[in-house]
Amino acid sequence: MFIKPKLAIEDFDYVLPDEQIAYSPAPNRSGSKLLIWDQTIKAESTYSHIAAFIPANATMIFNNSKVIAARILFEKINTNNEKGKSTIEIFCLEPTEKYTPVLLAMQATRKVEWNCLVGGAKKWKEDVLIKEVEINDTTIKISARKLKQDAGKYIIEFSWDHPTIHFSEILNSIGNIPLPPYIQRKASEEDKDRYQTTYAIEEGSVAAPTAGLHFNKEVFISLDEKNIHQKYLTLHVGAGTFMPVKSATIDEHEMHAEFIEVNIALIKYLLENVNKLDAPIIAVGTTSLRTLESVYWLGVKAFLFFQQHHKNISLNDLNLLQWDAYNLIEHCISVQDALNTLSDLLSANNTDILITKTQLMVTPGYTFKICDALVTNFHQPKSTLLLIVAAIAGEDWKAIYEHAITNKYRFLSYGDGCLFWIRPLVM
């Protein structure tokens, strides 16, 4: 019988001094501190020397999602008894189902629909907000219309009067980089560069996959010199990554769902290389880890569906819900069988890429199937990201974080990080 993990969120709390929150990036990407943990704290260094702590032939897997300028400001002229102007902020979270996957929404012309948060919604009384912008020496009129409201979120239709301009161009022209909510300042020119990984390609995230912010050209050269392989996948980070756990126990918390994209070449690569002690798979960031682990469980779901129905599951029906991993664990399906099933399913559908959503929640007690190690930042108290660290390090997470606070590590998105070995390192 399936039982949800019933963990008190208070057990994952700690005191984070404000002066150790990194409100701005370090002077150099790879200059941030790096703590190495392998069943205990083994070493301290910087990201510039991360290759020294990883064996040759290992594989590091990065999330290549790109942060979009998701915050759009509209000004409206006040009427009646109100004076001056009011600013209404629209925060694009994710496109509606009609415009998914995310790439479809970013390439949309003339109009698109997004699920959004709206700041100053009470001041938005007219039907349409309008903004003008210059793109390619042409004045474009952009309109925003509220279509529906539900649970504090809005479906907003954006439209513009130019037949070939894409929505990605609209955002790049009028949008602002969405810094984490605890950074109470406007995004600067420096943020446009530093709150983005150097390898970001696939537009769609509203928050950076922050572990990757530390990797610059010099770090990648050092990885190549040691024959440490680099592979890429995509998870579009949603605003839910910053949502605090408000329930008393974790089983009552609803994990946000996020779009993932994994190509068949990576799945086949994993088939050949997973679970090799001398060639570990290292997830760079919790987003990469959740995607890699989701790939296994999606393969399990596809495998079981075929066994039960003697036909392939529809790719449209293949997604991962919050507790699927815990519900399916009793089936004991090998990584090879799961990945082979997923690879065959993609081939049968004449597609090279799996695009779906994952709601996977990793908590203490979770058994890792793909990942041998994780590179990650120091996370907020009582967060789902901290639960991932606790799933790896057990109760030792408290000593690790106490050590980091005592030794003046910088925390959160622009902060320092750790290399955690899930399985003991063999070098």
pLDDT by residue (tens digit) across 356-397?
999 999 999 999 999 999 999 999 999 999 999 999 999 999
Going by C-alpha positions, the residue among 331, 354, 333 that lies closest to residue 343 is 354
Q: What is residue 427's predicted lDDT score, i.e. its pLDDT? A: 65
DSSP H or E run through 293: helix 286-309
Residue 82 has pLDDT above 60, yes or no: no
List alpha helices for 211-263, DSSP H.
217-225
Q: Are 84 and 73 in contact (CB under 8 A)?
A: no
Cα–Cα distance between 123 and 76 in angstroms, integer?
9
Q: What percent of the chain has pLDDT over 90?
A: 84
Residue 34 Cα to chain centre, angstroms: 21
Q: Give me the domains of the chain, ranges plus CATH numbers.
A: 9-67+194-421 (3.40.1780.10), 71-176 (no CATH)
What are the φ/ψ torsions at residue 129 (nearest 5 degrees)?
-100, 140
Residue 77 has pLDDT above 70, yes or no: no
Starting from the edge strand earliest in sequence, which strands make up the sheet with 353-358, in order?
Answer: 41-46, 33-37, 417-421, 373-377, 281-284, 59-63, 229-235, 258-263, 353-358
Q: Are 54 and 372 in contact (CB under 8 A)?
A: no
Q: Are 64 and 204 in contact (CB under 8 A)?
A: no
Cα–Cα distance between 91 and 286 in angstroms, integer?
23
Q: Within 13 Å, how many C-alpha atoms sit on residue 230's CB side?
A: 16
CB atoms within 10 A of CB 136: 10
Residue 33 has pLDDT above 80, yes or no: yes
Cα–Cα distance between 348 and 346 in angstroms, integer?
5
Q: What is residue 151's predicted lDDT score, i.e. its pLDDT? A: 79
Q: Are 333 and 384 in contact (CB under 8 A)?
A: no
Q: What is residue 12's predicted lDDT score, i.e. its pLDDT? A: 97
pLDDT by residue (tens digit) across 246-255?
899 999 999 9
* DSSP annotation string for 94-134: EE-GGG-SHHHHHT-BSEEEEEEEEETGGG--SSEEEEEEE
3-state secondary structure of 182: coil
Residue 81 has pLDDT above 60, yes or no: no
